[in-house]
Structure 1
Amino acid sequence: MTVKLDFEECLKDSPRFRAEIEMVQTDVSELETRLEKLVKQCHAMLEAGRVYCQTSKSFVNGLRELGHQCSGEKTMEECLDKCSKKLSIILVAQEEVIETTQKTVKTKLQNFVKEDVRRFKDVRKEFERGSECLEGALVRNAQALRGKPHEVEEASNALLNARRTFRSEALDYVLEINVIEAKKKTDILMAMLSLMEAQAQLFQHGHQSLSEMDEYRLKLNEEHTQFVLNSAREKRDMEQRHAAIKKKDVSYDDSIMDFKPDAPNGIAMEGYLYKRASNAFKTWSRRWFSIQKNQLVYQKKFKEQPTVVVEDLRLCTVKPSADNERRFLFEVVSPSKSCMLQADSERQQQAWISAVQNSIASAFQEHREDTHSPRQRCNSVSASSLIGGGGGGGEQESKVCKALEEVQAIVGNKQCCDCGEPGPDWASINLGITLCIVCSGIHRSLGVHFSKVRSLTLDSWEPELIKLMCELGNLVINRIYEARIDEITIKKPHPTSPRGDKESWIRSKYVDKKFIQKLPETGRPALQRRNRALTQERNTQRPPLKPKPNRATLPRLPGLSPSPTDLVQKNNTHKEVEEEEEEDLSGLHPGALLYRSAALQNFPVMADALAHGANVNWVNVTEESSTPLIQAVSANALAAGEFLLQNGANVNQADSNGRGPLHHATILGHTGLVCLFLKRGADYNARDKTQKDPISIAVDTANADIVTLLRIAKMNKEMREMDGAFGQSGDETYQDIFRDFSHMASNNPEKLKRRSADPKSYPA
C-alpha cells in the first residue's frame, strides 16, 4: 500500500500536514464528482445497450420471417436463415457483456462512491471536530492566569485530553486517506479489467462465429455475381419483348380460353361475365365465372369461397337471350332457378355457350361411363345376357333395374306428386314420392331436412331405398299432405302452371303443412281412420305384410343383461302379435305413433306421424328407452329402418342398456340391417353396459356374415385413416361387398341366415 500521509507528521499537526490534508480532500471531492458522473454515463450506456439488443432481436426476427416468406427461393432462404442464426448468437454475447458491465463496472464504482467515500467523509468530520476542540483547549490554556492555580490545572487537563483525542482522530483520518487511495486504484482497475475482458470475449466470439461462414460467404458472393449477370440479361430480354409488343395493336378483344374438360386444375373454362341479380333491382355485377367439377360457379375475389350457380350441369340448359336491351346475353336454366349472364363480346358469348354445352355433354358421358349408375348397369346386364354370361352379380343388377321400373309402376307414381306432369324422372327419397324436373328443383331448394331429391335414371339406388320407395308412393303421401285440400281455396298447380305457383304450392304443402289434417286436442279418431284407410290403400297395391315378431320373443345372448320383456311367456307371443296388428293408435301422440308404427312396418302411419311433427328419435322410457329405429330392428324391417334414417334418425342412439340399433341388429342376426347401419356410419366400437361391442356380440352368436361385415368396416376405416384427410372414401372391394350384402338382404334374405358351426372359429 502506498502511504499518502505519514503518521508521524499527523502527530505534529504541522502546516505541511494541514496543506496535505486539504489536497487530499480536494482530490477525493473531485473523484466523487467524476465517479458519480461516470456511474450515470454507465447506466445510460447499459440502457441503450439493452434497447439495442431488443431492437436487434426484432431485426433478426424480421430476417427469419423474411426467410420463411422466401421459402420458394432456396438461396435466399438459406442466406437469411444463416445470417439470422449468427446474429442471434452475437446478440446473446452482447447481452452477456451488458450484464457483466452492470455487475463489475457500475456496481463497483457505485459502491465505492456510496460506501468508501462516505466513510471517508465521516472520518473527516470527526477529525475536523477534534481539531476544533484542540484549538479551543489551546486558547483556554494560554489564557489561564498564573495567580489562579485552579484554572491553570483545569486548562492543562482539558488541553491534555483534547490533544489525546485529536491525535487519535488524526491517526484514523490519515489511515482512511491511505486506505481510500489504495482502494481507488484496485476497484477502478478491476472494473476496467473486467470490462476489457468482456469486450474481448464478445469480439472474439463474434469473430469466431462469423469466421465459420467464410466458405459460405465466398460461395454466396459467387452466386450473387451470377444473379446480377442473369438479372441484367433478363432485363434486356424483357425490354426487347416489351418494345416488340408495344408496336402491335393492343385494342383487340380479350382472348378466349378454349374449353378444356381435361385441364390439370379441373377448370374447363373461366373468365369474367356480368351476372344479373335476382333481387327487385335486377342489378348487374361483374364476377369471375368458371366451369369446374361439373358445376358453374363464380367468385368476386380469388380467396373467396366460390358461389355455385348450377350444382349439376346435367340438369341445366343454355341458350342465347334477346329479351333484354343489353347485348351478348345468354341464359343458364336449371330446375331450381334461371341465371342471366352477359359476356363482353359476341365472340365471348358464343364461346361460353359452347363451353356450357360441351360441359353438359361431358358430364353425361362421364356418367354413362360410370359402371355404378343404374342405367349403365342395366346396359351391361343386357349385354352380358346376350353373350351368354350373366353371373350372380348380373342377376342382382338386373333386379335393381327391375326395381326401378317397379317404383315408377306404383299406382300414382306415373304423374308428378305435386303438379301431375306425366313421366316423372325424379324422386324425394325421404318422402317416397316421384317428381318432375321442375318440382324436383323446388324440392331441392327446400333443403335436405324437408326433401332429399334423387334422379330415377341418373343416380345409383341402393336396394333398401328401392324397397322404401315401393312402400309409399304419391297417393299415400298426398292423402297425408293434401288431406284438407277440399277445405282450402288454394288450387293445386298443373303441369303448365308457372314455376312461381308450383313453388308456392310445394312450400305450403311440405314446409308450412297447410293441408294436413289437424290433430284434435283429445284423442285421434280421425287420424286413426285415415291411417287405416292409408294402410288399406297400400295393401291394395301390394301383398299384405306378414306379422312381425314381438320384442318379447326376440332371442338374447347369454351373459347379456335381461330385459323385462324376456319374462313374457312364449305361449302368449302370437296373441300379442295379433293384438299389436289391431292395436288402437288413436290416443297416441306423434312420437309414440311413429314408435308403434315402426314395429308394425306401417309406412303410411309412420309418414303421417312425421308429417304431424313426430320426433324421429323419440324415446319410450317405459320400454328401456327404445327408439323407433330400434323398434324397426326388432321387426327386422329393413325398409322401415331406411325410412327412419332418411328422415334424420340417429343411427347411434342407445337405449337404457347402452345398446344402439347396431347392437340390436347384431344380437338378432339381422345382417341386412347391420349392413345398412354400417353404411350410415354406425359406431361398431360402441359398448353396452355389459361392455360388449357389436363385434364381440357377433362372435358370441357365431354369425359369420355379421362378423365379416363388422371387420370389413373396421378395416376400411383404418385404411381411410392411413390415407389421411384427403384419402378416398374406401376400397372398392369393400364397397362391392357391402353392395352385395345389401342386394342379398333385400332380395334373398334367406341366404343370410347362416351360422358358424363352431363359435370359437371367430375369436374376439
Structure 2
Amino acid sequence: MLEMKNTPFLFPFQLVKLCIGMIDAGKAYNTANKQFVNGIRELAQQSTKDEVIESSLTKFAESLQEMIKYHTVRDPRLKSEDLRKFKEAKKQFDKVSEEKEAALIKNAQAPRNKQHEVEEATNSLIATRKFFRHIVLDYVLQINVLQSKRRSEILKAMLSFMYAHLTFFHQGYDLFSELQPLMKLLVGQLDQLVVDGAKEKRDMEQKHSTIQQKDFSNDDTKLEYNVDADNGIAMEGYLFKRASNAFKTWNRRWFSIQNNQLVYQKKFKDNPTVVVEDLRLCTVKHCEDIERRFCFEVVSPTKSCMMQADSEKLRQAWIKAVQNSIATAFRDDAEKLEKRRSTSTGSLDSGGEPKEKTLKGESALQRVLAIGGNTTCCDCGQPDPRWASINLGITLCIQCSGIHRSLGVHFSKVRSLTLDTWEPELLKLMCELGNGVINHIYEARREELGARKPHPGDPRHEIEAYIRAKYVERRFVRRPSDEELKMKVVNLSTRVKRNHVLLVWRVKSSDSGIQNSTDGSREMLANTASTNSMHDTGLPRSPQGFSFLNFLSYSPGLQLFWASCSCSLPDMAEALAHGAEVNWINTEDDKRTPLIMAVHGGSLVTCEFLLQNGANVNQMDTNGRGPLHHATILGHTGQVCLFLKRGANQNAADIDDQTPLTIAVEAANADIVTLLRLAKMNEEMREAEGPYNPSGDETYQDIFQDFTQMASHDPEKLNRFQTYDSQKQ
C-alpha cells in the first residue's frame, strides 16, 4: 500500500511562508520609513531660518518618499479553499489509516477454532481496506493539486520579490545619482560648519569662563520699558502681590503693563487678570512702612495694589515703568486731541493748555518746520509732523517716531516738538540739519537700488523695514571713493587752516602781539574771536589750538575730525553715516577727538550734536586734557556749562596736574570758576542725599539753565579770550 505520512512535498511551501514573513517585515520597514520621512519634513519646516538645512532636508525627504513607493511586493499567499481541502483530506487519511491498522491487528488475533470471529475480522479488514483506498485517492488528489500549484506559486512569489528588489534598488540608484552633486556640495559645507562650530565652541567656552569669573551675587533681571513693543506689552516680569483677603498673603505672579493697563497671570496660559483698568487714573509710590522690603503700591480712586520686587533696582524699574506708562497715555491723548483741533480749526493754537506752554511749543514747532523738507515726515512723507529725532536732526510723524524709538537711542533719540521742553542748542541743531540734508545722505542710492519710499498709508511692518534699512543697515548711503574722501578731508582742513590764518592776521593787525598785548587789545582779540564764531566761520579761539599735518591716511573718522572743527554739521552727519566712530582718535594730532576739535571750532551746536550721537565727554588727549579742559582754556563758558551738565569729570588733572578749576582760576575767568564750583557743590549734595535727590540742587539747575540760555542767545557776553597756553609756555 502507498504510505504518505512522511512525504516532504510541503517544504517548498515553507519557503513561501518565509517569503510572506519577509513581506510583513518589509511593510513594518515602510511604516517606520514613512515616519522617518515625516520627521525630516517637520525638521525642515522648523529650519526656515537656515536655508541650507531647509533645502537639503526637503530634497532628502522627497527622494526617500519616492523610494518608499517602489518598496512593495504582491502578497503570494495560497487560496484558503485549496488549503482547507488539503487539510481535510489529510485529516481523513490519518483517521482511516489508524482504522486500517486496527482492522489488521484484529484480523491477526482472530482464533482459528472460532470461525465466526475469523469471518467477522476478515470482512471488517476488507471493508476498511476498500475505504482506505478511496481516501488515499482523495488525499493523493489534493497533494497533486498542491504539487501542480507549487511551481507557479513559488516562482510567482520569488519573481515578485526579486522584481520588487530590482525596482527598489534601480529607482534608489537613479534617485541617489541625482542627489550625488548636492551631497558632494554639502560635504564641503559640512566641513566648513565643523570648523565654524569648533570656533563657536571655543568662543562660547571663553565667554563661559569669563562670565564664571564675574560676581553675580547682586545680579538682577534687566527690565526695560518699551512703549512700542510689537506685542503691545510695554514691560513684564515677576512680582509678589499682596492679597486683599483677611490673611494678606503674598503670591508670586507674572505682571505686565499692556494697553495702558496693569495685569497679572497665575500661569502662562491663563487669561490676564486686570489690576488697574486705566493707569491714567493711578499713581505709584514707595512703601517703606511695612515689614517686607522693595515694596511699592499702585493706587487708584477705587482700590490699591501692594506689590514687591526682588530687589531695589527692580522696584525702581517698575515704578519708573508705571510712571512712563501714565505719561505716555497722557501724551497719546494730547496728540490725538491736537490732531482733532488742528483738523477742525486749521490753527496752531490750542485752548486746552496754558498759553505760555502752548506758545513755547508752537515756537519750537514753527522754527523746526521752517527748515526745508521738515513740513513732512522724513521717512514716510506724512504732512504736519509733531515729533523729531534730535541726534539725526529730522522731523517724524507719530508712527515713524514709534519705530525710531524701537531702534534704540544709539540710532535715534525721539522727542516731541509740542509736548517736550527744547533747549536752545537742540533747536539750533535741528535748524542746521533737517529732512532735506539727512535724506540727501541716507537716501543717496535709494532710486539707484530701486527701493520704494513708504507712504503714510502703508502697513507698519513695511515702514519699519524701510527705516531699519535706511538708518540701521545704511543700505542707501553712497560710499565715497578714496579720492572723494581725500578731497573732502583736504577741503575741510584747508577751510579750518584758512580761518585760523585769518584770525591770526586780524590779531596782528589790531595789536603788535599776544604776549605783550594790553587789556584793551586782549578784549579786542576776544571780540574778534567771538564775532567770527557768530558768523559760523569755525575759527579756533586759540591761535595755538592745534597743528595742521600731512595726513597719512584718509577715513570717515578724519572727515568727522575736521568737520567738527569747521562747524559743518552736514559734513559731520555724512561722516557718521559713512561709518565714522564718534570718539575717533587722531593719533597724528595729540590723540584729539572730534569733540575736542568742536571745542576749538567754538560752536556749542557742534558739541551738542556729537554728544547726542554718543561722544565721550571725558575722552582725554595726549596731554591728559578732555573737552572740559579745552573749553576752560579757551574761555568757552557755554561749552563748559554743556559738558558739566553731561557729566564731565571736573576733577581730572592733565599732565601738568592742572584741573579745569585751577586753569579757570589762573585765567581769572569768573564765570567758569563759578560754574565749576557750583558743579562741585551740587555733586557733593547729590552724594550726601543719595538716591532721593538724583538731580541735585534746584538752584544749581536754574543757574545752569541761565548760562545755557545766554550761551545760545548771547554768546558774546560769555566769550573771554584766554592766553593760558601762552602763559604756560
Class of the TM-score when normalised by the shorter of the 2 chains: 0.3 to 0.5
Structure with higher Rg: it is 1
TM-score if structure 2 supplies the norm length?
Answer: 0.47
TM-score if structure 1 supplies the norm length?
Answer: 0.45
